[in-house]
Amino acid sequence: MRRALVVASRLALAAIFLYAAASKLPDMAAFATDVANYRLVPEVLVPWTAAAVVGIEVVVGLALLTGVYARGAALLAAGMLLVFIAGLSQALLRGINLRCGCFSSDEPADWWTVLRDLAMLVPAIVVLTLRPEARSHDAAPRPEDEDHLGRISTRY
């Protein structure tokens, strides 16, 4: 049950991040303008930030999809979502009228987009905190594993 929950969360988050990246790739210049509209990043760094964000979304999506470094990817996804939530919230509180920039559409930024990002934190936290697979790439070695290895090492 726990394993199913983690896998479902991982795949759902992977799909969201890959879709978000894929929707931005056709027009990176427009996404850079969306980033600029948040007025959080110096103008000269805006295009670099936009390109980096999309690249990170791709890598996070692929890591979550394959399960390689899944918990690290979930941590990174949660961090990104928190940054997005902070960015959206400050823009809304400052009364800046802007596109969300979340996906390719002209979706305006509003409190629903903030809630949606908050909801996306749930699967990220599930993947980050629940560890169903002992052989996961980034699962911590259990004490019994360490003991086992320890015994082996003393034999050789």
Residue 19 has phi, psi (to 5 degrees) of: -65, -40
50 or 81: whose CB is closer to other proteins? 50
Residues from 64 through 123 that contact other proteins (CB under 8 A): 69, 71-73, 75-76, 79, 94-99, 106, 108
| Residue from 6, 46, 85, 120 binding other proteins (CB under 8 A) | 46
User: What is the phi-psi region of residue 130: left when phi exceeds 0, alpha when psi lies from -120 to 50, beta otherwise?
Assistant: beta
**How far is 113 from 119, CA to CA, in rounded Å?**
10
**How far is 18 from 62, CA to CA, in rounded Å?**
7
Provide the token pair at 142: 């259990």
| Residue from 7, 19, 39, 86 binding other proteins (CB under 8 A) | 39
Q: What letter represents residue 133's amino acid? A: E
| Residue from 5, 12, 22, 47 binding other proteins (CB under 8 A) | 47
Q: Which residues bind other proteins (CB under 8 A)?
A: 25-33, 35-37, 39, 43-44, 46-48, 50-60, 63, 69, 71-73, 75-76, 79, 94-99, 106, 108, 128, 138-140
